[in-house]
């Protein structure tokens, strides 16, 4: 039955997984962990923590393991529940789980997204000191932690990080090198353009490049794909006209374009133009044009939503009274009446 829970979790069928879990005559640490992970990975972090508390109260012979700890830490990160995350960290130390790679990655993430980038990098450095080789996920987590807090000095250690990658016993592959490419954001936000070029040049030697943003939307049982600055859609002029109108309305309501997310050495006007050509905005505008008022707009994006697109989609859901669902590379975002299910924390 635990296999069923895991299957439904992977498919995003949370209610089905919950039903199966509820019908289990006997539950062990594996089944509890599977259901907690289902909630944590499907945009229900509060339910994940509630179930974890229930597990701690009801079970006496099924102590949480590393799998449980990872899911609970993910839920704490999503809910900005830093204090609860610290309690889990203490439990991890008591149980000696702090040398398990997925746990280390989750710890780095929770401290990083809460603005404790230095703590996150300390955990990473301690792991290296103890001789634990970082996994691709761990490396991505520590780079993300530096990015969240804008730790330029820590970011300067990217060359050292690159050496660590080179020394990995397993070929790191595109995902890890891709995270290093994304880490150039740290330099870009600090306007250190020479350093940005340096990181890019390093990755060019590995034939790595950034994946372009792409969004998909289903309208009338047909899928439509959008990339940034999409000039090929037959409705592109109508889409652009609508976005110009929305931009003016948003500025009247004191919206300020978050040009900091455009990591190029350009003036603010050009950065704003790039923001309005993001694939998700094009897809949302296309959905507004081609769906009726009661239809939900459903979008899939291949990258993490940028802060500006997130703000834009909240605005649209409020002032057009539209329900919008976006699945990015990290999670589901359910936008409704100006609020997102992620709590602006993703």
The 10 Å Cβ neighbour count of residue 269 is 9
Q: pLDDT at position 170, please? A: 44
Q: pLDDT at position 208, please? A: 52
Q: Report the run of H or E that residue 72 belongs to, with start and end.
A: helix 66-78
Strands 297-301, 332-336: pairing kind: unpaired
Please say if the pLDDT value at position 242 is more than 90.
yes
Q: What does the pLDDT average to over 179-199?
A: 56
Please say if the pLDDT value at position 291 is more than 90.
yes
Helix (H, G, I), strand (E, B), or coil: what is residue 298? strand
- 53-62, 157-166, 262-271: least confidently modelled range: 157-166
Q: pLDDT at position 203, please? A: 57
From CA 5, how far away is CA 32, in angstroms rounded? Answer: 10
Q: What does the pLDDT average to over 76-95?
A: 84
What digits encode the pLDDT tens for the residues 18-57?
999 999 998 899 999 999 999 998 988 889 999 999 998 8
- 208-222, 234-248, 281-295: least confidently modelled range: 208-222
Q: Which of the listed ranges 7-11, 168-172, 175-179 does the model predict with the highest average pLDDT?
A: 7-11
From CA 299, how far away is CA 286, in angstroms rounded? Answer: 11
205 CB burial (10 A radius; 0-12, 13-18, 19+): exposed
pLDDT level of residue 178 (50, 70, 90 thresholds): low
Q: pLDDT at position 138, please? A: 67
Q: pLDDT at position 332, please? A: 77
Between 95 and 172, where is the model more confident? 95
Residue 302: both structure tokens together = 């291949």
Q: What does the pLDDT average to over 103-109?
A: 84
Q: Can you give the length of the chain in residues?
A: 346
pLDDT level of residue 318 (50, 70, 90 thresholds): very high
Q: Which of the listed ranges 8-12, 184-188, 238-242 does the model predict with the highest average pLDDT?
A: 238-242
Between 210 and 301, where is the model more confident? 301
Please say if the pLDDT value at position 126 is more than 60.
yes
From CA 206, how far away is CA 164, in angstroms rounded? Answer: 15
Q: pLDDT at position 264, please? A: 67
Axis-axis angle for helices 66-78, 101-113 (nearest 10)? 10
Residue 30: both structure tokens together = 């594996």
Q: pLDDT at position 284, please? A: 96
From CA 323, how far away is CA 268, in angstroms rounded? Answer: 31
* Percentage of the chain exceeding pLDDT 90: 29
Q: pLDDT at position 187, please? A: 52
Q: What does the pLDDT average to over 129-140?
A: 70
């Amino acid at each position: 039955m635990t296999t069923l829970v895991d299957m439904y979790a992977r498919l995003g069928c949370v209610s089905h997984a919950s039903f199966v879990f509820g019908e289990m005559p006997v539950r062990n640490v594996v089944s509890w962990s599977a259901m907690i992970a289902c909630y944590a990975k499907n945009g229900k972090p509060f339910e994940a923590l509630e179930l974890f508390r229930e597990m701690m109260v009801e079970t006496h012979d099924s102590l949480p393991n590393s799998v449980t700890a990872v899911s609970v830490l993910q839920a704490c990160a999503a809910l900005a529940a830093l204090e609860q995350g610290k309690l889990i960290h203490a439990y991890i130390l008591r149980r000696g789980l702090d040398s398990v790679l997925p746990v280390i990655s989750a710890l780095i993430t929770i401290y990083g997204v809460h603005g404790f980038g230095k703590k996150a990098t300390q955990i990473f450095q301690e792991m290296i000191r103890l001789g634990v080789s970082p996994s691709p996920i761990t490396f991505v987590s520590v780079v993300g932690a530096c990015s969240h807090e804008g730790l330029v000095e820590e970011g300067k250690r990217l060359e050292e990080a690159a050496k660590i990658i080179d020394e990995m016993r397993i070929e790191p592959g595109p995902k890890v090198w891709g995270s290093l490419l994304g880490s150039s954001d740290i330099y870009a936000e600090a306007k250190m353009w020479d350093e940005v070029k340096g990181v890019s040049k390093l990755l060019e030697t590995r034939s790595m490049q950034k994946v372009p943003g792409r969004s998909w939307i289903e309208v009338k049982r047909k899928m439509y794909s959008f990339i940034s600055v999409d000039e090929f859609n037959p409705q592109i002029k109508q889409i652009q006209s609508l976005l110009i109108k929305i931009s003016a309305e948003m500025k009247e309501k004191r919206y300020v374009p978050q040009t900091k997310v455009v990591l190029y050495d350009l003036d603010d006007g050009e950065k704003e133009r790039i923001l309005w050509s993001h694939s998700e905005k094009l897809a949302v505008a296309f959905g507004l044009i081609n769906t009726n008022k009661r239809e939900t707009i459903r979008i899939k994006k291949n990258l993490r939503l940028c802060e500006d697109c997130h703000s834009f989609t909240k605005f649209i859901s409020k002032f057009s009274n539209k329900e919008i669902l976006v699945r990015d590379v990290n999670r589901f975002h359910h936008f409704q009446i100006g609020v997102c299910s992620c709590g602006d924390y993703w």
